[in-house]
Structure 1
Amino acid sequence: MLTWPEETMYEGIAAVARERPDSRAVVSDETAWSYGDLLAESRSLARGLADLGVSDGDVVAVWLGNRPEWIACQLATSYLGAAMVAVNTRYRTHELEYMLADSGASVLVTERALLGRDYHEMLSTAVPETEAQSPDEFDPDSVPGLEAVVSLEPTADLPALRGYDDVLETGRSRDGDGFEPATDPDAPAAIFYTSGTTSDPKGCLQSSRSLLNHSTHVAEYLGVTEADVGVATLPFCGIWGYNTLFSVLATGGTLVAQTHFDPGETIRLVDAHDATYLTGLGVMFERMLEHDAFESSRVETVDTGVVGFISKGFDEELFDRIESTFGFPVVQPYGLSEANSQIFVGEPSDPAERRKRVGGPPIHPAIEAKIVDPETREQLPVGEEGELAIRGYLLADGYLGKPEATAEAFDEEVPGSGATGESENSSSGRWFYTGDLAEIDADGYVYYRSRLDDALRVRGFLVAPREIQTAIEDHPDVRSCEVVGAPHPRHGEVPVAFVVSDAGDVTPEGIERFLESRVADYKVPEAVEFVDEFPTTEGPNGEKVQKTVLRERVRDRFEP
């Protein structure tokens, strides 16, 4: 197993390419790249981006589906010493504009449309200068700092856009000019935005040292090798999808890129490519099992799989069905953007009773964990529930441009605290306090319980209810709003809004239409209920809304 403790994302994959230049790296319906092809594409793209002014320390935003070009963008930005912002493929105009401004991205790489969403149309709303300026004149007041927009499919109605192929060709013309890759593994390589527990999304700064090593350790823990073929169902823009894709490439395996999850298409790709490695949410596997195209013989090559039930809540019947039909031992992962995905994962050889819990042992001995009192942050005894804290190489460097939030979530403590997993491999005394309720058992297995606050896990994405509430409260006829999560048979957990309004003609449909252009579709409440007031209780700091009462009201709302 290769490890790269001192190399960047680009240099790490370049090491694989030198050993396996002709082996298949990334495959899609339109593309089949060897490792040599992937490296050449990334290098040329890096030089083309450099021609647009991207250099060490800059930020490039990437708003693409699971395409080979997405991977090339990550390696190209790493080559330049720049950081790539992974833009959620479901974002709409408000979220895109916020992310571009907050990250300070100088270049955006995007495509024409995905999942029926017109990216160019949303882009023209968020950055109207794309309709009025040429590429050389582009200087938007709407998003200061954005210097260029590159699209896989440039169109005449947005004259400011540059073509991806044109940027690539510019880079190819510069091959051989002595342009050398950056070498600092501790520089930010990727930025993942998470809503966390506040209304403002936060950008988690992840370095190559964190991302490349962790992806490699995930592969080693799961037994993924150069002989494996993985199908990418999870979005690359999320930390789980990211670690999954690089766990394949870091070992020299083959990645089958699926632009977005579709159950019938996933079945076809697994069958066509004899895939052996498959990860996804429990609801994804459920949709495959229920699809007309599903036959167990079409997925019999899969022998390694990680299934996340956290978004829907554990379903023992589905767990058993996946395991018996797909034929691999199901393990459940725990992770988050601030510390990578699949941090604690059940051992495939563990009894099913253990694997039916979210989490497991640390996937590498350098990962430490402890359970603390959420108020005092004093360590709690083994077996007692409390807030989970994590330490090790895999932590983000903090939140972009948010020193107070960083100081609140990350602190320093000298090694020697007796935490689970502590070893000479510990990288520092920094702890990250996750905001998650968990426990550690006598064997050192870490098991997730729930969020300490009210955050929702919707279609695999963490969503702060306050973010949805704020958007709804911008409606002129809404006085106040509370959002809670409700179990859903298809999407796992979905938001439900309780609204207090003084207007008699406002409707649930009107609220939903109001949100459609403002937030990602998974943040639009599945149901809106109007109430005269919220149930409250008196606390030390005044009245507090009883969200447990609201959750109970919608607990069976979406029963199949």
Structure 2
Amino acid sequence: MNLSSQLHETAKASADKIAYYFLDKSCTYAELDGAITKFASGLEKLGVKQGDHIALLLGNSPQFVISLYGALRLGATVIPINPIYTEDEIGYILKNGDVKVVVGVDLMIPLAEKVHRLLPKVEHYIICETEQNDYKEKIVEELSVYSKMKSFTEVITSGDISFQGPTLEDNDTALILYTSGTTGKPKGAMLTHKNLYSNAKDIGDYLKINHDDRVITALPMFHVFCLTVALNAPLLSGAAILIVPKFSPKEIFRLAKQYEATVFAGVPTMYNFLYQYSDGNAEDFKSFRLCISGGASLPVALLQNFETKFNVLISEGYGLSEASPVTCFNPLDRPRKPGSIGTTILNVQNKVVNELGEEVPVGAVGELIVRGSNVMKGYYKMPEETAAAIKDGWLYTGDMARMDEEGYFYIVDRKKDLIIVGGYNVYPREVEEVIYNHHDVVEAAVLGQPDPNQGEAVCAYVVRKNLELTAEQLLEYCKEHLAKYKVPSSIEFLEELPKNTTGKILRRALKKQVTHS
């Protein structure tokens, strides 16, 4: 079984069940499955074959869902790309990923005009119109790229509703997700049909997602957290998704109340924005049975403040692109532990090891490694990087963690973010947790900077809600709650912290920002 065939089975069994809501319009499973089938057939008529690579340059929309599942039904490999990437970033992925077809909004036309000569392998650009007028009216020059353009509507209309896709093997590559490339060029994690299906099913079962759920899908669909937890798992379970084109607290509160949403998935920054939103109240969220946090560590102070204000529970989990992505989640049938990423989910193994790959004692810090049917087959065209990441079937995550006596895991920090002060290890998250506890702090990020005496110094960058808060006051607060070597040597106040499109605070981007300022 795979994602697309399971959706087809759901459509046959529950044809009139609502699959999604978008801009207050609904679509049934039968309607969605029909569009997916016709899109797959339309791709085939364009000459797309099983194994070809299709890039999606789309935001949260029905077109993303149809393109994703349609390409999978044809047996093509999908490469989701953040549509706000720069030309160079997009061009690199399209070239490195050997992309044959690009699906994107009409705003992509200028990009196609600029890069198409460098991308001879791209045979088709499928344009999803964002306005009523025909995208061809935007074309002012006659270039060879225009002969490669088709509208999304044209492709679906040309498709055959009776299309039968090829037989798909579990180990066929379904998705290539390019990592953010914090250390060099992005790497393409190859996820198979088995990887995607198993992780979506396992996390759906673990979180008890069912056909009565209405899941707010506000995370970016091109990101693996959303793909598995807020898109694939709900659709596998026959639930309805509420597609949010762009995150805004006002819209989340409206959708939650109007549609009696039951599940919300977000990253810590989203929860912070919702918590700070003055017009939101607990009554709007009364239908929620579950809130999910991932993508980055959720500060315990924010978790507790949010839960108190809105009377809902947040379950924190953990994952990474190379694991499709979920490996751990706080269980629903046992006590949840604030600050923990929870316990191992079904059909996955996690353990904490030392530099030699040996499991460390309970409570000790080491690198988290993962094994299971969710782990990628490797990085696209990067055998050396694959060998470094996967050893004896175990995926080395690069995250430092510890496990308690009850099997709950705690992420201490990224291995690369460790700060060594005078020989002592300082984990940025530990310092950030203390700073977040101060009632006048909105956000915080901690970095290591070179220090001639101690090797490295702890530096904190803070967004404050009370402009009267001084660095000296916050330093005194830190001294009360941290060992001396963990106390920041400096605190700088910023108006905002750099984030990626999922809202994750980017420490490396911050380091570049402060270095060049």
State whether structure 2 residue 221 is matched by structure 1 residue 236.
yes
1:65 CA displacement: 0.9
Which is further off, 189-198 or 257-266? 189-198
1:537 & 1:149 partners in 2: Cα distance?
A: 56
Q: 1:283 touches 1:492 (CA, 8 Å); kept in 2?
A: no
1:30 CA displacement: 6.3
RMSD of aligned alpha carbons: 2.7
Aligned to 1:148: 124
1:392 CA displacement: 0.5
Q: Deviations over 1:158-187 (max 9, x none)?
A: 43532110111111xx333x6434322221
| SS in structure 1 at match of 2:221 | coil
> Which amino acid is the alignment partner of residue 211 of structure 2?
E
Q: 2:50 touches 2:166 (CA, 8 Å); kept in 1?
A: no
* Structure 1: tracts of 5 or more residues without a match: 1-6, 114-118, 128-139, 413-429, 457-486, 499-533, 539-544
Q: Percent identity?
A: 25
Q: Which of 11, 34, 37 lines up with 2:5 in the alignment? A: 11
| SS in structure 2 at match of 1:37 | helix
1:549 & 1:324 partners in 2: Cα distance?
A: 31
> Which amino acid is the alignment partner of residue 439 of structure 1?
R
1:495 & 1:68 partners in 2: Cα distance?
A: 40
Distance change (3 Å), C-alpha of 1:60 and 1:30: farther
1:262 CA displacement: 1.2
Q: Deviations over 1:67-104 (max 9, x none)?
A: 11111111111111111101113312111111101111
Distance change (3 Å), C-alpha of 1:123 and 1:111: same
State whether structure 2 residue 440 is matched by structure 1 residue 442.
no
Higher helix residue share? 2
State whether structure 2 residue 394 is matched by structure 1 residue 431.
yes
> Which amino acid is the alignment partner of residue 342 of structure 1?
V
1:550 CA displacement: 8.6
Q: Deviations over 1:283-335 (max 9, x none)?
A: 21222233244132222111111124835x6141x212221333332211111
Distance change (3 Å), C-alpha of 1:400 and 1:309: closer
Aligned to 1:378: 358
2:76 & 2:382 partners in 1: Cα distance?
A: 19
Normalised by the length of structure 2, the TM-score is 0.78
Q: 2:2 touches 2:194 (CA, 8 Å); kept in 1?
A: yes
State whether structure 2 residue 27 is matched by structure 1 residue 33.
yes
Aligned to 1:360: 342
Matches of residues 321-332 of structure 1 in structure 2 within 5 Å? 321-332=305-316
State whether structure 2 residue 82 is matched by structure 1 residue 88.
yes
1:232 & 1:494 partners in 2: Cα distance?
A: 30
1:12 & 1:431 partners in 2: Cα distance?
A: 29
Aligned to 1:338: 322
| SS in structure 2 at match of 1:211 | helix
Distance change (3 Å), C-alpha of 1:309 and 1:328: farther
Distance change (3 Å), C-alpha of 1:48 and 1:207: same
> Which amino acid is the alignment partner of residue 332 of structure 1?
E
1:493 CA displacement: 4.9
Aligned to 1:24: 18
2:452 & 2:373 partners in 1: Cα distance?
A: 43
* Structure 2: tracts of 5 or more residues without a match: 130-134, 140-145, 420-434, 462-487, 497-517
> Which amino acid is the alignment partner of residue 332 of structure 2?
P
Q: Deviations over 1:220-277 (max 9, x none)?
A: 1112111000010111111110112111111101001011211111111111211000
> Which amino acid is the alignment partner of residue 87 of structure 1?
I
Q: 2:56 touches 2:64 (CA, 8 Å); kept in 1?
A: yes
| SS in structure 2 at match of 1:45 | helix
Count matched residues: 438
State whether structure 2 residue 13 is matched by structure 1 residue 50.
no
| SS in structure 2 at match of 1:343 | strand
Distance change (3 Å), C-alpha of 1:455 and 1:182: farther
Q: 1:225 touches 1:248 (CA, 8 Å); kept in 2?
A: yes
2:361 & 2:167 partners in 1: Cα distance?
A: 45
1:547 & 1:76 partners in 2: Cα distance?
A: 51
1:156 CA displacement: 3.3
1:326 & 1:399 partners in 2: Cα distance?
A: 42
> Which amino acid is the alignment partner of residue 162 of structure 1?
K
1:494 CA displacement: 9.5
| SS in structure 2 at match of 1:332 | strand
Q: Which has the higher contact order (CA 8 A, sep 6+)?
A: 1
Aligned to 1:400: 380
2:268 & 2:99 partners in 1: Cα distance?
A: 34
Aligned to 1:260: 246
Normalised by the length of structure 1, the TM-score is 0.73
